[in-house]
Structure 1
Amino acid sequence: MEIKKVKETRIEETPHKLDVRKLYDKDSAQAIHITLQPGEALKPHITPVDVFFYVLEGSPEILIGKEKIQVEADNLVESPRDIVHCLYNNSNNIARILVVKAPRPTSSSKLL
């Protein structure tokens, strides 16, 4: 059994310059833990695979296409491939989101 501790997993170097930690990375899928401090946001981007966001803590705003809504903890949001999406933390609390991409992308996301 392999257990990954989020706090002990290294922060990835990404164009977003945020706390992004890759927890699972297989051909079948990728799981990424993102922590957004108050006021932080990802850069809008398009991913070449299906993605879902599971809000672990906080209430970030999630943009999928042209729809942007605030999502509470313990909710899952789907984002189909090739559509713009983004995460924003416009609250005064930390937001933690588990991002799953399936299958693992073989090309880079396109920043907008």
Structure 2
Amino acid sequence: MDHILSMPAQPLDVAPFGARLTSARSAVLFKAEDLEVIRVVLRKGQSLPPHRVPGSVSLHCLEGRLEVMLGQSIYELQRDQLIHLPPGLPHAVRALDDSSAIATIVLCSSE
């Protein structure tokens, strides 16, 4: 995975890749003490295996279609749709088409 790692308060272009999607790669856009934002790129049929993270996650589909598995439930996420994944919930993601998305991960819980 590439690391872009922007400086705080620096605007980042997260527009859909369009025709460039075929050569795009996943990249960490930034990581702070409490938050990590990743541009996830998956080709049709590729998947992120089942996993869990301690904090909340949001997944915003920028282009393509993604299948999000949460426990026994399956949701289809299309372009311009966003889904919230609660902390600690096992989940997996599979690309139904070539796709890119923004994953935002809360790294610290507010206890």
- TM-score normalised by length of structure 1: 0.72
1:58 and 2:37 are equivalent in the alignment = no
RMSD value, Cα: 1.9
Correspondence for 1:2 among 10, 19, 35: 10
Q: Which runs of 5+ in 2 are unaligned?
A: 1-8, 15-24
What is the aligned-residue identity percentage?
21
Q: How many angstroms does 1:4 deviate by?
A: 4.6
- TM-score normalised by length of structure 2: 0.72
1:78: which partner in 2? 84
Q: Please say which of residues 33-42 and 63-72 is displaced more in the overlay.
A: 63-72
Q: Which runs of 5+ in 1 are unaligned?
A: 7-18, 106-112
Relative distance call for 1:45 and 1:23 in structure 2 (3 A) is same
Question: Aligned to 1:60, what secondary structure does the other structure show?
Answer: strand
Say how many residue pairs are matched.
Answer: 91
Contact 1:25–1:104 (CA under 8 A) maintained in structure 2: no
Relative distance call for 1:80 and 1:58 in structure 2 (3 A) is same
